[in-house]
Amino acid sequence: GLDISALLKTTGDTTLDVGFVNTASCTSEITYIDGDAGILRYRGYPIEQLAEKSTFLETTYLLIYGELPSPSELEAFDQRLRRHTLLVEDMKNFFDGFPRDAHPMSVLSSAVSALGTFYQDSHDPHDPEAVEISTIRLLAKVPTIASYAFRKSQGQSLLYPDNNYDLVENFLWMTFGQPTENYEMDPELAKALDLLFILHADHEQNCSTSTVRLVGSSEANLFNAISAGIHALSGPLHGGANSAVLTMLSQIQRDGGDVKEFVRRVKNKEDGVKLMGFGHRVYKNYDPRAAIVKKTAHQLFEKAGPNPLLDLAMELEQTALEDDYFVERKLYPNVDFYTGLIYESMGFPSNMFTVLFAIGRLPGWIAQYREMITDPATKIGRPRQVYTGSPARDYVPSSER
Ligand code: ACO
Instruction: Encode pLDDT of 261-273 as tens digits.
Output: 999 999 999 988 9
Per-residue confidence band for 9, with pLDDT thresholds at 50, 70 and 90: low
Stretch 24-48: mean pLDDT: 97
Per-residue confidence band for 234, with pLDDT thresholds at 50, 70 and 90: very high
- Do 346 and 193 touch, CB atoms closer than 8 A? yes
The DSSP line for 340-360 is HHHHHHHT--GGGHHHHHHHH
Stretch 26-45: mean pLDDT: 97
Please check the confidence at residue 6 and state whether its pLDDT lies above 90: no
Instruction: Encode pLDDT of 130-139 as tens digits.
Output: 999 999 999 9
Q: How far apart are alpha carbons 340 and 176 in whole angstroms?
A: 18
- Do 23 and 17 touch, CB atoms closer than 8 A? yes
Residue 263: in which H helix or E strand, if any? Answer: helix 259-267
Ligand 1 contacts CB of residue 335 (under 6 A): yes
Could you tell me which residue, 189 or 1, shows the higher pLDDT? 189
Per-residue confidence band for 303, with pLDDT thresholds at 50, 70 and 90: confident
Residues in the chain: 401
Q: Which of 263, 281, 354 has most ligand 1 atoms within 8 Å of its beta carbon, as the pocket-test mutant? A: 281
Closest CA to 57 of 166, 144, 162: 166
Per-residue confidence band for 8, with pLDDT thresholds at 50, 70 and 90: low
Please check the confidence at residue 4 and state whether its pLDDT lies above 80: no
The residue contributing the CA closest to ligand 1 atom 37 is 279
Task: Tell me, yes or no, if 78 is annotated catalytic.
Answer: no
Q: How far apart are alpha carbons 42 and 317 in whole angstroms?
A: 27
Task: Tell me, yes or no, if 280 is annotated catalytic.
Answer: yes
For residue 387, the model assigns a pLDDT of 93
The proportion of the chain whose per-residue pLDDT surpasses 70, expressed as a percent, equals 97
The DSSP line for 162-231 is -TTS-HHHHHHHHHH--TTS-----HHHHHHHHHHHHHHS--SS-HHHHHHHHHHTTT--HHHHHHHHHH
Residue 69: in which H helix or E strand, if any? Answer: none
Q: Which of 89-98, 294-303, 370-379 has the lowest mean pLDDT?
A: 294-303
Q: Give me the residues paired with residue 45 across strands.
A: 42
Question: What's the 331 CA to ligand 1 centre distance in angstroms?
Answer: 8
Stretch 234-260: mean pLDDT: 92
Instruction: Encode pLDDT of 44-95 as tens digits.
Output: 999 999 999 999 999 999 999 999 999 999 999 999 999 999 999 999 999 9
Ligand 1 contacts CB of residue 312 (under 6 A): no
For residue 11, the model assigns a pLDDT of 62
Q: Which of 334, 343, 353, 357 has most ligand 1 atoms within 8 Å of its beta carbon, as the pocket-test mutant? A: 334
Mean pLDDT in the chain? 94
Ligand 1 contacts CB of residue 276 (under 6 A): yes
Instruction: Encode pLDDT of 137-153 as tens digits.
Output: 999 999 999 999 999 88
